Amino acid sequence: MSTPPLPYRLTRRTFLPAAGLAAAGPVLLAACGGSTTTPVSPPAGTSPAAPAQATTLTGAGATFPYPLYSKWFDVYQQKTGVKINYQSIGSGGGIQQITQRTVDFGASDAPMTDEQLAAAPGPLLHIPTVIGAVVVTYNVPGLGPGLKLTPEALAGIFLGEVQKWNDPRIAQNNPGMGLPATDIAVVHRSDGSGTTNIFTDYLSAVSAAWKSRVGKGTSVDWPVGLGGKGNEGVAGQVQQTPGAIGYVELAYAVQNKLPVATLKNQAGELVDPTVESTTAAAAGAAASMPDDLRVSIVNAPGPRSYPIAGFTYLLVYREQADAAKGKTLVDFLWWALHDGEAFARDLLYAPLPAEVVRKAEAKIKSITFQGKPLRAG
């Protein structure tokens, strides 16, 4: 199956400096008329007017969905005139900035923990956007595409227990591949990353040793390996280091023509990372999704399910501090959940299942200003 070309280079793009976002945001919004809009009370006996619209929003967080979000923001600005300034700084940074209220929304592939939610100054909502896959990429001299890995082999590599490419735990699933006796060089993310959360969530699900010794999170204490910042940092290290192995998101790997491994799933089937296999991984998510929509879909059952997949979320406060920006944010979220989903497949993300869309709609309708819903209907 051919993969359509991606319209954007998948590089980190920063619209506002991270350290200056909190300070710059009010100035920028004031210049656009966003943060200075004050709702005027209507005369007695008349219906209240709809809140004014802000013209700029700021967000920060996940790099995992950045190719899609970049497309969304460009299309939405053309459609509405609303400019969305987004910092692709990693899920950890997105959680930090929304907690500090220095952005209008955060973005994370890792659902916030109970402790993180309790530390926020108000109730935060998780709005799922799409489903993506994390892939294993490698650079083995003389080895082309087609590497096959079991959960045991992959966990052993990242634990530092499988140290050579011709180790029997790799070789037994790759007959005739001519695996060399080259040292394995592990590469992982150095920044707080939702991609890392999905990857380590998977390793925790398939390896008791990984779960007890390392665990899951946006950042972990890696047993072995070199760190790279962002997808581009990991990919760069892998490409420059003979014998290296690392993990990136699917769209980044395809855009940059990186070889990716086929993984054995829970059903014992070898599965390639595709939109279809990512969709299959999410097939049962709607039925088991909790009310707050925080859920893991790694190591999903089913013969066609790709095992390292996850939802990615936008993080927004239920009670908005500014009516104009709140209304603009709600309108964008509604557009993304419906019109925006149409762009997902071409950028190698799986659209949300219909039942998950309905659950996300309910969350958007619960967003308020001074206790009144900002989404009519």
Rounded to 10 deg, the angle between the 354-365 and 323-338 helix axes is 170
Residue 171: which pLDDT band, with cuts at 50, 70 and 90?
very high
Token digits of residue 198: 């999905």
DSSP secondary structure, 245-310, as one string: EEEEEHHHHHHTT--B-EEE-TTS-EE---HHHHHHHTTTHHHH--TT-----TT-SSTT--SSEE
Which is more confident, 31 or 50? 50
The pLDDT value recorded for residue 252 is 87
Residue 374: which pLDDT band, with cuts at 50, 70 and 90?
very high
Whether 7 is covered by a domain: the verdict is no
Q: pLDDT for 191-243, tens place per residue?
A: 888 999 999 999 999 999 999 999 999 999 999 999 999 888 999 999 999 99
The pLDDT value recorded for residue 2 is 41
Name which of 251, 226, 239, 207 is nearest 349 in CA terms. Answer: 251
Rg of the chain taking only CA atoms, in angstroms: 22
The pLDDT value recorded for residue 52 is 66
Residues 94 and 228 in one domain: no
- Residue 157 clears pLDDT 60, i.e. is over it: yes
By CB atoms closer than 10 A (0-12, 13-18, 19+), residue 134 is: buried
* Sequence-separated (6 or more) residues with CB below 8 Å from residue 349: 65, 68, 130, 131, 132, 251, 275, 278
The number of beta carbons lying within 10 Å of the beta carbon of residue 232 is 17
Residues 85 and 105 in one domain: yes
Distance CA 122, CA 99 (A): 9
Whether 302 is covered by a domain: the verdict is no
Q: Which domain holds residue 329?
A: 21-34+53-132+310-373
Whether 296 is covered by a domain: the verdict is no
3-state secondary structure of 62: coil
The pLDDT value recorded for residue 311 is 96
The number of beta carbons lying within 10 Å of the beta carbon of residue 168 is 10
Residues 139 and 126 in one domain: no
Q: pLDDT for 295-334, tens place per residue?
A: 999 999 999 999 999 999 999 999 999 999 999 999 999 9
CATH number at residue 369: 3.40.190.10
Q: pLDDT for 55-92, tens place per residue?
A: 999 999 998 899 999 999 999 999 999 999 999 998 99
- Residue 1 clears pLDDT 90, i.e. is over it: no
In the chain, pLDDT over 90 holds for what percent of residues? 76
- Residue 261 clears pLDDT 60, i.e. is over it: yes
Distance CA 111, CA 217 (A): 10
Choice among 132-146, 148-162, 202-216 with the minimum mean pLDDT: 132-146
- Residue 6 clears pLDDT 50, i.e. is over it: no
> How much of the chain is in helix, strand and coil states, percent to nearest 5?
35, 20, 45
State the residue for tokens 């104009």.
324
Whether 152 is covered by a domain: the verdict is yes
The pLDDT value recorded for residue 29 is 33
The number of beta carbons lying within 10 Å of the beta carbon of residue 250 is 27
Looking at the structure of the chain, the number of domains it has is 2
Distances, alpha carbon 257 to alpha carbons 82, 137, 207, 251, in Å: 34, 10, 30, 10
Sign of CA dihedral 118, 317, 66, 60: negative
The pLDDT value recorded for residue 43 is 42
Three-state SS string over 115-134 comes to: HHHHHCCCCEEEEEEEEEEE
Which is more confident, 21 or 99? 99
Give the containing element (helix H, strand E) for 360: helix 354-365
Whether 76 is covered by a domain: the verdict is yes
Q: Specify whether the CB–CB gap between 54 and 324 falls below 8 A.
A: yes
Q: What torsion, rounded to 10 degrees, do the Cα atoms 38, 43, 49, 52 define?
A: -20
- Residue 21 clears pLDDT 90, i.e. is over it: no
Residues 93 and 68 in one domain: yes
Residues 279 and 365 in one domain: no
- Residue 25 clears pLDDT 60, i.e. is over it: no
The pLDDT value recorded for residue 41 is 42
The pLDDT value recorded for residue 248 is 95
